Amino acid sequence: MAKFNVRYYECYERYYEVEANSKEEAEEKLIDAIKEGRENAPDQCYDSDAEATEMEE
């Protein structure tokens, strides 16, 4: 029997309305707001998967 290192990931998506001077600023403002708890993170998962890599012994 072999050992595997398995990466599991989920993709979440939600659209937000952000006022900013540029696309980059809007993205940064949203990321900061989510990290600081001023905006709720997305709760709709639209994709998930797992990827396994066999580990060397």
pLDDT the model gives residue 1? 86
Task: Tell me, yes or no, if the pTM score tops 0.75.
Answer: no
The span from the CA of 20 to the CA of 46, in Å, is: 27
The span from the CA of 1 to the CA of 39, in Å, is: 46
* pLDDT tens for each residue of the chain, 57 residues long: 889 999 999 999 999 999 999 999 999 999 999 999 999 999 889 899 999 998 887
pLDDT the model gives residue 20? 95
pLDDT the model gives residue 36? 96
pLDDT the model gives residue 44? 87
